[in-house]
Structure 1
């Protein structure tokens, strides 16, 4: 919001491109770790303005379709990424997993310079608040560290200390954000009922998705005895169904309430997850495939309308903050989901995969309930 979405996107691309090159050139674990941290910074810059750029590019009447196209591309990339990675590793070393980002990044940078529009200039720019940035990193860093530590069975004393520091830092962080006219983390936007409900739905849905996606490979291989190749093929219907449903959802946004679409999508996803929970001891491939299709179709029907609601329920000049909040909700849900799977596996062994799928189904149902509460809210205009 301060420096323009296009500028942040281009800077993020450059950082991601260069850090990918450094990853490939790394000759030690320490160097690779540092390069991956830099790569994360670049990726964060890209993802934080992605939805805001879509709002900037598409006219109001076609914004839903833009969200649908974006969700479609994400689904295609998610489906193609592991396959491309496997193909690269079959003919070359791991370094090419990072080197392939260099030509792709250069092409993306050229396209961004050529086609991305600039923000409308504002008369005043808020100053960047460094203390907020530090407290933001500490708050979410401590949260993820504590969740991971609990899942891995670390010392409760250490986890308790981390949570104590988290509460103290988080308190002052929230207090500071509420005192700023344009906060780093747009907590003030949570006062908008439609925005806060959509953020809550997003956290629940991504937590459910990650619970399922992390636990399913273990379930298919360890419990059902499927091979790695069979597991990959059985997981593929999920992103493929999302690919098909996402553009349709973007089209439907212009005609139906996003809360209704989101609730329906989460109900379908929950139905697919409950079907996976109730699989027989020796299911056929078809028994596994059709619940996967339901999960992917439901998530595809949910994601575009929910992203659309989050970005449009915020004032246009706060699109960057809303887009960043969307990314925060997604990562918070995914981190929590992954930590819960690790906890289930550590505590219950192979049975943890089944419990993880059950937890995912319950969370998807909760997301459907929260999404349905948005139906009472008036539809927003982009």
Structure 2
């Protein structure tokens, strides 16, 4: 059905091995996306079942994000030393076993511990998934396969809330984790069968100090964002501010030391020369700004739909559906076009459509029709789908094949931090507007301001992306 699987390649695999390798990486992506989308909607039920507060239950989600973020850079470097195949397999095994542990957890402490292990396994796979696809497919087909990957993510995002809600209401929250077990076993089998061993594995020392500094830097950034999002007036306001500032200073110091270390380390954890390519660096910054915008909108819209417009939780999930449908419609075609034309130009067009959609969402009237909401969300999805795969192609194709693991790790890092910072910004804005107490009008204004902040981030992504053209780098 997908004929380009069997096209002769100038590099990479051919035929059935390509199919199995792609299925392995996309199954891992499916597990990660399902896990993130479904666990969040289950937090209230988990808190009720385990008899804990909502603030403690949030760490079921934050724990995964924290360990994944802290180890992304480490795993992107480690893969060049032990090989993509071995690391991907180990990551899948850890993620699958941790999913079993989550499903069997009888206490919050055990569940959070298993989620921390899940984050480590997830980082081991997600940090190199795009690099594996590049090792399997030749450069001239890279855009198409990245487009299919974006289409898959969009499809999963569309069905995850409904599927997760069904599992949650019929079988219980444990099954949200148990579903990963057969998927993980299948992915491990396909990985061992089809993902190639890399002959150019570098037997060189690992930058342990760089790894520690990167983990501290990334972990402190996550904690800074989470702490700032919890600011509120009251007795604990100054204490929370001090904690957030401490994390921020720790992140800055660790980042400064990390950069110094990478400049002098004989075998750095993250070769800084990959950022000398302006096309790579600007594509990474464009991705960061876009995911910040998306992260804001994904957090703000449920408040808008439920608090302001009065829709139920299930109806709110349905109102989200046009966004991933837009990604499905645009992603694969954008990927194909980026193999033939300038990926930078296509990503700029997608960024413009995405920014327009976010601005239109910010301009929604007081009582819009369902069709009005859906059409604006659909435009956001089409724009994001048109932007994402060409921009990812820009990042991966503008470093050498030997350094594609590092580029893949950077891609995962900017995606993770973009979404995290976006969510934190919503928390900061809503906290600021909620200072006077439970004033519904102020909360509505906070939601509106959040959407405009998302629009600013989306427009910023356009300017960064256009600068590639101005510098003659497209």
Answering whether residue 214 of structure 2 is matched by residue 129 of structure 1, we say no
Equivalent residue, structure 2, for 1:158: 243
Structure 1 residue corresponding to 2:100, chosen from 18, 21, 29: 21
Alpha-carbon distance, 1:165 to partner: 2.3
After superposition, what is the alpha-carbon deviation per residue over 1:93-118, rounded to whole angstroms, capped at 9, x for unaligned? Answer: 11111111101110111111111122
Residue 252 to residue 182, structure 1, CA distance change in 2 (3 Å): farther
Q: Which structure would you say has the larger RCO, counting Cα contacts within 8 Å and 6 or more residues apart?
A: 1
Query: In the alignment, is the contact (CA less than 8 A) between 1:88 and 1:97 conserved in 2?
Result: yes
Structure 1-normalised TM-score? 0.96
Q: CA deviation at 1:182?
A: 4.3
Contact 1:186 1:322 (C-alpha < 8 Å) held by counterparts = no
Equivalent residue for 1:199?
Answer: 284
Map 1:350-361 → 2, pairs under 5 A: 350-361=444-455
Q: Please state whether the residue corresponding to 2:340 is helix, strand or coil.
A: coil
Match of 1:237 among 294, 319, 322: 322
Q: In structure 2, what is the Cα distance between the partners aligned to 1:287 and 1:76?
A: 22
* Gap runs ≥5 in structure 1: none
> Per-residue deviation at 1:344?
1.2
Judge conservation of contact 1:276–1:288 (CA < 8 Å) in 2. yes
Q: Partners of 2:317 and 2:301 in 1: how far apart?
A: 10
Secondary structure (helix, strand or coil) at the match of 1:35 reads: helix
Quick one: structure 1 residues 318 and 166, their matched pair in 2 at CA, closer, same or farther if it must change by over 3 Å? Answer: same
2:322–2:378 Cα contact (<8 Å) kept? yes
Q: Secondary structure at the match of 1:283?
A: coil
Alignment coverage as a number of residue pairs: 378
Match of 1:102 in 2: 181
Deviation by residue 1:166-208 (Cα, 9 ceiling, x = unmatched): 2222211111012235432343311211111011001000000
Give the distance between the partners of 2:268 and 2:363, measured in 1 at CA. 46
Aligned equivalent of 2:38: none
Q: Does 1:12 align with 2:91?
A: yes
Judge which range, 276-285 or 369-378, deviates more: 369-378
Are residues 1:111 and 2:182 paired? no
> Aligned-residue CA RMSD in angstroms?
1.3
Please give the secondary structure, in 2, of the residue aligned with 1:253: helix
Select 1:145's aligned residue among 223, 231, 234: 223
Query: How far is 1:225 from its partner?
Result: 1.3
Question: Normalising by structure 2, what TM-score?
Answer: 0.78
User: What is the aligned counterpart of 1:178 among 249, 263, 273?
Assistant: 263
Q: CA deviation at 1:378?
A: 4.4
Contact 1:4 1:118 in 2 (8 A): yes
Q: Report Cα offsets for 1:308-353 as digits up to 9, x if no partner.
A: 1111111110010110011111111111101001111111123221
Q: Deviations over 1:35-79 (max 9, x none)?
A: 000000011111001110111111121111111111111111222
- Using the alignment, how far apart are the partners of 2:173 and 2:326 within structure 1? 30
Q: What is residue 272 of structure 2 aligned with on the other side?
A: 187
User: 2:207 touches 2:267 (CA, 8 Å); kept in 1?
Assistant: no
* Structure 1 segments of 4+ aligned residues over 4 angstroms from their partners: none
User: Is the CA contact 1:185–1:325 (under 8 Å) kept in the aligned structure 2?
Assistant: no
